[in-house]
Structure 1
Amino acid sequence: MSGEHGGRFAGRIALVTGAGSGIGAAVARRLAGQGAEVFATDLDGPAAEATSKELPRAHSLTVDVAEPAQVDRAFDEVVRRHGRLDVVVHAAGVDDPTAKEWIAEALLADRPARVTERLGDEAWRRVMCVNLDGTFHVLRAALRAMAPRRSGAVVTVGSSSAFDAQAGYPHYAASKAGAHALSRSVAKEAIAFGVRVNTVAPGPTETGMAARTPAALRQGFADPRVRPYATPEEIADIAVFLASEEAANLVGAVLLANGGRFTV
């Protein structure tokens, strides 16, 4: 049973980052549909508000996960209102459209990509600040909220790029690999306080980020021998499973969800 009066998250308080679109929005919908009261957060405040308006018992907050004070304020607001926080799904992240264009240009010209030597400090820091620093800020705030109650589940959204480390995308691969290792380390610490931390690592997924991927690069990800691009809902189902009691014995897991493109 799902909805307002039932579901496996009935009575639970959940916070979702990156909930304005894509995987984060799909997670917010899944959690709300299974009974959770959801705080939808996003750097794009109106997008977070649009998601929350779709859902019963939902609220929106504008949060830049790269800014620790904003993250802390959001978590403090949830705990102030409800006295607890039960579920966190951290789906906020960024890519680098310029680097993608450079990779696509190389593919079309049938030459090796040359990205690292052209990659500026600002582009490197932006990806790291959101994808890696942001994951730390969210995990730290989640433990501060959950550990005193000795209960809670946190799911971070990583990437298959952490494993296959595509040529020409070093900053993104590094940020996601770092986020995976960070989540696994925190998971070992957090479980002593009753808090579970796990990660889902999607492959190509039909999100706004994917929509900005150049056609040549999208074609490179296509392969008739594997599943097509995942939907945000398919990845959300994995994240919600990890946050549920059905995954009670999963701690520090990184679930690869790339449709069979490779295994590790």
Structure 2
Amino acid sequence: MKLSGFAGTIALVTGASGGIGAALVTLLRDSGSIVVATDITAPVLEHRAGQPPVHARALDVTDAAAVEALVDWIETEIGPIGFGVNVAGVLQVGTVTGTDDAQWRRVFAVNADGVFHVCRALARVMSPRRAGAIVTVSSNAAGVPRHGMAAYAASKAAATMFTRCLGLELAPLGIRCNIVAPGSTLTPMQTGMWADAQGGQGVIDGNPDIYKAGIPLRKLATPDDIAASVMFLLSDQAGHIAMSDLYVDGGSTLRG
């Protein structure tokens, strides 16, 4: 089955410089979408002849005015946005007692406030057209407690429930909002937590000392694994899926 609904559709992607975001930009472009790829600094993108353009823009998702301005620019200069994907995110590790106020505020500003800012701006322009699809890339940590990740997990849980509530508001307009919840994925965010080259195997095996299950599929996800799941939820083939929270974690949370 080939996914459809992408050709000529304008897609806004945040966090496009990271592993998952960059993989998604490539898949969208290869499927014929016109992509606006954003990150805190403008992503460096490879142009491919014969394919739709990718517009790279700097965007701080914590700045509500900047988000609104970018959405207005896209709508005026490029065309109507059909897809929005929230990939931008930051990691904060540490115990609750070891987390200060600034660290807490930063992780929520990007992971929760940023999703709110982008989704609000997209809902404003999509609602009159009664068409569109939004996907938030959250985390399986939003649904399962993680030792030393309270701030990150709480921020992702907020983003997840916000996206589902938005989906309830927009579904009567034909606008679908869904979530992809990755588990451990081979990105710089993941490898940055490893103490050594064996860190990946430790993630796969799990750690009973901190009550963390391993990965039943015995492998880490790749950015393409997560990006492909996002593509499905954006596609025509997912036309009757709304407010869903798709865990893509190799079974590590022992849930669907």
Give me the whole-angstrom Cα distance separating, in 1, the residues matched to 2:106 and 2:120. 20
**Counterpart in 2 of 1:112?**
none
Matches within 5 A, 1:38-49: 38-45=35-42, 48=43
Instruction: State the SS of the aligned residue for 2:125.
Output: helix
Matches within 5 A, 1:1-264: 8-45=5-42, 48=43, 50-51=44-45, 53=47, 56-96=52-92, 99=93, 115-215=95-195, 218-223=200-205, 225-264=216-255
The answer to whether the 8 Å contact 1:19/1:51 transfers is no
Q: How many residues align?
A: 242
**Counterpart in 2 of 1:109?**
none
Residues 207/13 of structure 1: CA separation in 2 closer, same or farther (3 Å cut): same
1:96-116 CA-to-partner distances (Å, cap 9, x unmatched) read 2xx3xx5xxxxxxxxxxxx11
Give me the whole-angstrom Cα distance separating, in 1, the residues matched to 2:250 and 2:227. 14
Identical positions, percent: 40
Compute the displacement of 1:227 (Å): 3.4
The answer to whether the 8 Å contact 2:10/2:79 transfers is no
Q: TM-score, normalised by structure 2?
A: 0.89
Residues 166/218 of structure 1: CA separation in 2 closer, same or farther (3 Å cut): farther
CA RMSD between the two structures: 2.0
Compute the displacement of 1:8 (Å): 3.7
1:192-237 CA-to-partner distances (Å, cap 9, x unmatched) read 2221100000000011211211237644421374231111011000
The answer to whether the 8 Å contact 2:14/2:87 transfers is yes
Amino acid at match of 2:229: I
Q: TM-score, normalised by structure 1?
A: 0.86
- Runs (4+) of structure 1 exceeding 2 A deviation are 51-56, 214-220, 223-227
**Counterpart in 1 of 2:209?**
none
Compute the displacement of 1:165 (Å): 1.7
1:51-78 CA-to-partner distances (Å, cap 9, x unmatched) read 2645641101100111111111111111
Amino acid at match of 1:254: D
The answer to whether the 8 Å contact 1:256/1:263 transfers is no
Give me the whole-angstrom Cα distance separating, in 2, the residues matched to 1:128 and 1:76. 25
The answer to whether the 8 Å contact 1:8/1:35 transfers is no
Compute the displacement of 1:7 (Å): 6.0
Give me the whole-angstrom Cα distance separating, in 2, the residues matched to 1:225 and 1:168. 22
Structure 1: which 5+ residue stretches go unaligned?
103-114
Give me the whole-angstrom Cα distance separating, in 2, the residues matched to 1:249 and 1:52. 34
The answer to whether the 8 Å contact 1:184/1:253 transfers is yes
Give me the whole-angstrom Cα distance separating, in 2, the residues matched to 1:83 and 1:148. 14
**Counterpart in 2 of 1:107?**
none
Instruction: State the SS of the aligned residue for 1:41.
Output: strand
Amino acid at match of 1:166: R
